[in-house]
Amino acid sequence: MPCWCGASPDFLAKAEAALGLDEEAFRRRLGDDFRRLTAPWRDPGPPLESGSTWRSPFGVERRGIGYGQPTSHPLAAFVDAGLSHGDRMKAFREWNWPDVEDVDVSGLMGAAKAWGDEFAILGGDWSPFWHDVIDLVSMEGLYYLMYDDPEATSWLFDTVTDFYLASSERIFEEAGDLIDVFFIGNDFGSTTGPLFGPELYERFISPSIVRYAELGHRHGLKVMLHCCGGYRPLMPLLIRDGLDALHALQPYCTGMDPAGLKRDFGDRVLLNGAIDTQTVLLEGSPARAREETLRTIALMAPGGGYVAGPSHDWLLGETPLENVLALYDAIREWNEGGQG
């Protein structure tokens, strides 16, 4: 049974210092079967504003923990329902859209070759098209825009998706023979359910998902989506649209009970994650982490199609290291035959 570990820089720094290991040695200590190639964005823009820590390819600056929160929504003013479609589209088209040549693919081959054939290699652009459109027009603005001007909304999603597809195409042309999984990320769920229903998914999200899946499959790759929250009602549509794997699976969100996901989708898509990060790893003990890990694996592993790992892509810096080690030791215990 494969094992997955996603960890924030803060958590990695803490773990490496505590154990006296570098990142690669730490991942081997856990038994992580995946490695990820990333192509950095070479920001050609002006210096960041005071307090900002990062700027997206679409010109939105952020500040705060990690990638932070957007400091502005530069196209939000053009969401106003009183604006004509033509004027709105003129403003959208005149925005300073990114150049895919600013995606740096130069180091990918060397990084991938260093891992040999030992791991499953994740690659392609992260492609958070849903989040980038929100950053541009605001979440409230996007919901209004989907109803007030669906054509303009689709144009925004298509334009952002075009950039990420072109970026991923460059990555695959550079190192595609060494990549196994096209890994993309968009959070479509909240704690209590999807952020939109099937009707809006079909109109605005499905076209992009289909294009990502087609690109990955054209290069002979599996396509895996990281998606937070409770998005069970969307799963049949995501699977239909060509995704091979769904990642994270947060069991404390509505509809995301691991047993139900395995029963209803386990023969149609690979399921990755589902070991409770929020309550067990953050608030529990090593004994509880081990117990919950073995319980979840017992539900998810039968018949295959499961990758064991935490219920989120990034272990946060405040996550107790001893609980994380207990989780991965329990996965190793299962794989070595001591299955609970």
Residues forming a β-bridge with 266 = none
137 found inside a domain: yes
pLDDT in tens, 25-54: 999 999 999 999 999 999 999 999 999 999
- Distance CA(185)–CA(117), nearest Å, equals 25
Centre a 10 Å sphere on the Cβ of residue 141 and count the other Cβ atoms it contains: 20
- Mean pLDDT over residues 199-213, rounded? 98
pLDDT of 297 above 80: yes
> Residues 143-155: pLDDT tens digits?
999 999 999 999 9
Instruction: Tally the domains of the chain.
Output: 1
Would you say residue 3 lies in a domain? Answer: no
What integer pLDDT is reported at residue 169 of this predicted model? 98
**Hey, which bits of 150-214 come out as E strands?**
181-185
In a domain, 285, yes or no: yes
Number of H helices, E strands in the chain: 14, 10
Whether 140 is in a domain gets the answer yes
Domain membership of residue 4 (yes or no) is no
Element (H, E) at 272: strand 270-275
**Residue 126 falls inside a structural domain:** yes
| pLDDT tens, position by position, 177-190 | 999 999 999 999 99
Q: Indicate the pairing of strand 306-310 with strand 120-123.
A: unpaired
Assess if residue 340 is contained within a domain. Answer: no
> Concatenated DSSP letters for 32-72?
--EEE----B---SPPPPTT--EE-TTS-EEESSTT-EES-
Band (161; pLDDT cuts 50, 70, 90) = very high
Among candidate residues 290, 299, 300, 305, the one with its CA nearest the CA of residue 338: 290
* Rg, C-alpha atoms of the chain: 20
| pLDDT for the residue 132 | 98
90 Cβ neighbours under 8 A, 6+ residues apart:
none
Residue-number span of the structural domain to which 72 is assigned = 9-335
- Residue 172, phi then psi, degrees to nearest 5: -70, -35
Tell me the C-alpha distance between 23 and 16, whole Å.
7
Q: Say if 146 falls within a structural domain.
A: yes
We report the CATH number of the domain holding residue 318 as 3.20.20.210
Give percent of the chain above pLDDT 70.
99
Residue 219 tokens read as: 């290069």
Q: Give whole-number Cα distances, 7 to 11, 69, 191, 321, in Å.
A: 6, 20, 21, 11
